[in-house]
Structures are given as C-alpha cells and as structure tokens.
Structure 1
Amino acid sequence: MNGGATVNMESNAAALDIVLLRTFIEVVDTGGFALAAEQLALTAPAVSGHIKRLEPAAGTRLLSRTTRSFQLTPAGEMLYVYARNIVNLEREVRARLRQAPTAECMRIGASEDFTGAWLPRVLQAFRRTHPGASVELKVGVTANLVDDLQRGDFDVVFGKQCARVPGNGTLLWEEELVWAYDADSVFDSDNEVPVAVFPEPCVYREAAIAALTHAARPWRLVFESSSMAGCLSAAQAGFAVTPVARSQLREGLRVLDLSDCMPTLPNVQFYAFANSTSAAARELIAAVEKSGRQARFHIPAHW
C-alpha cells in the first residue's frame, strides 16, 4: 500500500460473480450509485459494496471515483463490454431453458422515432431470448397505429405524445422537443417561419403550430413529408425549420431557441401501448424502457 492510494487486489483473482457484474453494469448505465440502487431495489451502500467486491475479483480498479462522480478506468471500460455480453448470454440461456421454442408472433407498430434509433437493438435481444418467436413490424403515425391497436391489429405500439395520456399507455421516457435548422445557415428571425412537418395527424406538427400561433409568430408550411428523414433533410438544407426530439438531431443541424425568436416547444413523451398481457410483450416494453434509461433520457414517475 502506498499511503492508501492503491487497492489491495488479490494475486489470484476470484471468479467474477454475475450478480456483481449486473450491479456494475447498472452503475455505469445509470451514471450513479443511488440511481443504480433504485433500479436494483438495493441500498446505495449495498451497491457500493458490490463494486468493492468486484474490483478485487477482477484484480484491478474499475472506477476512478471522486466525491460526486466516477469515470471508468481502461480496465473498467473493457470489463463493461464483457460484462454486458456475459449478462445478456446468461439471460438468453435462462430464457431458452424455461421455455421451448414457440411459434408466437409479436405484432409491433412503431413511430419512425423508435425504428430509427432504439428499436433495432432491442428487437435483436428479443429474438435471442425468444428464439421461436417471429416479429411483424409496421412503421406509421402514432395516432393511426393506436387506432389499429384498438382494432386488434397489433400487440404493442411504440409511439409519442406531447401530453400525458390515460388508459393503457406506459410512459417510457420524455425529452425535449426542439426546432432544428441548418447549422451553417443564417436564420432570419424577422420573417415568417418556413416549417417542415409530418402530415396530419402528428403531435410534432400540432405542437409546432400551437407554439407559433400562441407566440403570434408568422409561419408558412413549405414542406410536408411522412418521413422524418425528409423533414430533417429540409432543415439541413436551410429550406425549413422542423420540430424534432432532441435525440434525433444529427450532425449539420442546430437548435433554434428564444434568441432566434422561436417559441419553446413542449416536451415529447414516448409511450408503449399494449393490447397483450403476454410475458413477451411485457419483456419487450421493459427492454425499450431500459434503453431510454441507458440513453440518460428523463424517466418520469409513472401514474
């Protein structure tokens, strides 16, 4: 020991306990011991104790900690990658052992936000843990998909709203809705706002028009597309301004705000709507919710 600055590591590292690996992953994913404790239904001291037991087993320090934050050490970064694979593989094995392959079909509807960012990785994991299941996916507008769900056309719909909804909707996370515009173009805040939006019905369109109208900001519709890629391309070309969830911003776009005389938009809430009480549907919704947590989205308390 050198003034207590080093960790007393065992020369022959013990086996890596999968429970400790799960805790380690949760600490990294949530960004803190208290949040990890909440997700794991443990106390913060218990989570800290798990990490203290894991480091000697790994034979090296995994986290470089200060009083308020931590960073992964190079060894911690490497273990995180392996730990996630180990935990996922263990989960997959348990799923295969407890259920024989089935011909179950999961019918999913999703808005373009989900299919373009979060859903592919989640569906890959779902197929591994449900090897006999098939997946049918339709991309569309949330309002239309929910109507189809109520008619029995889907088991689960993933979509967005700009207001909290009652009923069987499960709130997954919420984030900022922002105005996107070309990063290299000068925005003329004195003239009417050229807007690019989805066709009706669309919550982004409704929120944008309501905000501009409430702020008495003149605007005109110059581009309408059923594709988010189309609206973002119009914005990046400096042709129009488009409302978009902050996580959907891409290189070459910037956010217009009050300094550009653009009104504030409401937050957008992402929901799962279920027409099935199957374990597979619940697992899929939980996996999508966790993906939002790992992306550091705001997860409001469910009501």
Structure 2
Amino acid sequence: MDVKMEPGNAALDIVLLRTFLEVVDAGGFALAGERLALTPSAVSGHIRRLEQAAGTGLLLRTTRSFRLTPAGELLYAYARNIVSLDQEVRARLRNAPAEEHLRIGASEDFAGAWLPDVLQAFRRRNPGASVQLRVGVTADLVGELERGNLDLVFGKQCGRVPAGGRLMWEEELVWAFDADGAFDPAANVLLAVFPEPCVYREAAIAALSRAGKSWRLVFESSSMAGCLAAARAGFAVTPVARSQLRSGLRVLGAQDGLPELPDAQFYVFTATSSRVAGELASAVDASGKSSRFRSSPRW
C-alpha cells in the first residue's frame, strides 16, 4: 500500500536520518540493516516514517535497486550536516576532541581499487576527521605501524596470519597475461612482480617451484599499474588478485601449464582504539565482504 504524503509538520528524527544515510551509503536496505543491527523491514519502516515526516518520497524503489528523488538528494545533504553536528555536540559535551587525524597505510590493491570510494563516504560521515594515506608494501607499512607512525594498515597476505592482524576476507589470486597474446606452456614462465618483500611475488615463485616449473624474473615494478602493463603487453605473466584484472588481460591456468595460486588474504592492522578508526576499519571490512572485489563496492 502506498503511503499518502502530506506536507510534514513532524520533527525529523535523527535516528531516522541516520538510517536514511546508512541506506544511501550502503546502497541497500539489507546491508544498512546489518550495519545498524536492524532487520530490513525495520530499516524500511524507518524510511517510511521519515518520508511521512518529510511529507514527500525520498527514494524511488524497484525490486532490486533504488535511487534518490530530488527531495531525497536535498535531504541527504542536510542530513549529513545534521548528524555531523549531533556527533560534534556530543563530543564537545564529553570534552572529547571533535576532530581526529588518521594516518592510514594501504597496499596498492586497496588504494587503487576501491579505498578512495570508501574514504569519500567516510569523509561525509566524519567531516571533522582528516586522513593521511601512505601506499606501500604491507610488510613495510606494518613496520611503520609498530613504530607508531601509522594508526591503521590495510594489507594482504598469502597463506599466513601475521601477528596483530585481523582477517577481513579472502580473494582468489590468478595469473594475468595479454588477452590476445600467445602463451607457450612449455617455455620458461617470464614474471612481472613487485620488489621484495611482496606476498604475491612469494606466492607465485613458491607455486612455480613446487610444480617444478622453470621461471625467470624479467620485469620488476613497485607499481601494480606497471606489472599489469607488462602483462597486457605480453611481456610477462603477473600474479594479481582477480579483482585487479583489467581490459586486455586474461587468466592463465592449468591448461596453460601454470599451477594454482593460494588465495590472497586481506587484513586490517590497528594501533588505535578511536571511534573513527574503528568505524573506518568496519566500513572497509563490510565493503570487502559484501563485494569480495567482484564489483565496485559502495559503503
């Protein structure tokens, strides 16, 4: 039954506004419910009550998706400010700092694939927070964390659990090569990899060695874009998480004489118990688990 909309006179409940923001940022009712510890029907009820209070529809729903109405777009901007002001006031009343600076380290998988989208949404939720991002090799970034130079590190491992890290999710590691290039299964495997230490490099060499497959390092780059370019050119094979595949690349496997690679394990390492750091870590965790890097995640 459609809700009849009349000009709203009721105050806009901040709880309902938070639910509305979560639905938009999460991209759906079910995921928003998980983050808010509510059932999807409860989330739907919050949105319905908010629309009644606003006196207009905020979301245009289909069976599989939704989009904001013009009124929804307007309310989203105001709701973000209202909720942020509420958080600031609560912080000031507790004599807590309203602003916080986060120093984040991330492997290139995170930084290049989807962390910018997560950070953008995080910034909308925490306008008083500032972020410093350092991209690098996981082992080096964890070392910086242990020395007190970083607050959070998002990184990857293959087959081992580092001390202090919390596993978020796993993803398939694959061999990438030129989509149109000929690959000789009988020839030495020419590799394009990151410099040491790199878990993808270690996993690739270990897998080839166990399989008795001859290999030769012909391309080394500290940039994933460089390794992918070498693969697209047919110059070498590079090990990457499946989500990193781009146009012009194909996956090589047993039919090409290449051994199976272990899954890449994605971790978060923390050196702070602050609310905003925990919120960012939870958001990255939820985003990765919901998408597994298979599509562009929304937080």
Q: TM-score, normalised by structure 1?
A: 0.76
Name the residue aligned to 1:3: none
User: 1:195 is matched with which residue: 176, 181, 191?
Assistant: 191
Q: 1:106 Cα shift?
A: 2.0
CA shift in 2, pair 1:51/1:157, >3 Å = same
Name the residue aligned to 1:172: 168
Q: How does 1:127-276 map to 2 (within 5 A)?
A: 127-165=123-161, 167-276=163-272
Name the residue aligned to 1:110: 106
Q: Look up the SS of the partner of 2:67 in the other structure.
A: helix
CA shift in 2, pair 1:194/1:25, >3 Å = same
Q: Look up the SS of the partner of 1:196 in the other structure.
A: strand
Q: 1:196 Cα shift?
A: 0.5
Contact conserved, 1:118 with 1:291, CA < 8 A, in 2? no
Name the residue aligned to 1:96: 88
Aligned length: 280
Name the residue aligned to 1:63: 62
Distance in 2 of aligned mates of 1:43 and 1:125: 23
Q: 1:275 Cα shift?
A: 1.3
Distance in 1 of aligned mates of 2:230 and 2:218: 9
Instruction: Answer with 8-17 or 162-171: which moved more.
Output: 8-17
> Which digits, 9 at most, give the CA deviation of each residue in 1:130-189, with x for residues without a partner?
445443332211111111211222111111111352543122322111111111212222
Gaps of 5+ in 1: 1-6, 65-70, 299-303
Q: 1:61 Cα shift?
A: 6.3
Task: Report whether the alignment pairs 1:10 with 2:4.
Answer: yes
Name the residue aligned to 1:282: 278
Gaps of 5+ in 2: 295-299
| Backbone CA RMSD of aligned residues | 3.4
Q: Identity rate of aligned residues, in percent? A: 55
Q: 1:98 Cα shift?
A: 2.8
Q: Look up the SS of the partner of 1:285 in the other structure.
A: helix
Distance in 2 of aligned mates of 1:44 and 1:125: 21
Distance in 1 of aligned mates of 2:25 and 2:122: 19
Instruction: Answer with 173-182 or 224-233: which moved more.
Output: 173-182
Q: 1:234 Cα shift?
A: 0.3
Q: Which amino acid aligns with 1:159?
A: G
Q: 1:293 Cα shift?
A: 3.9
Task: Report whether the alignment pairs 1:78 with 2:74.
Answer: no
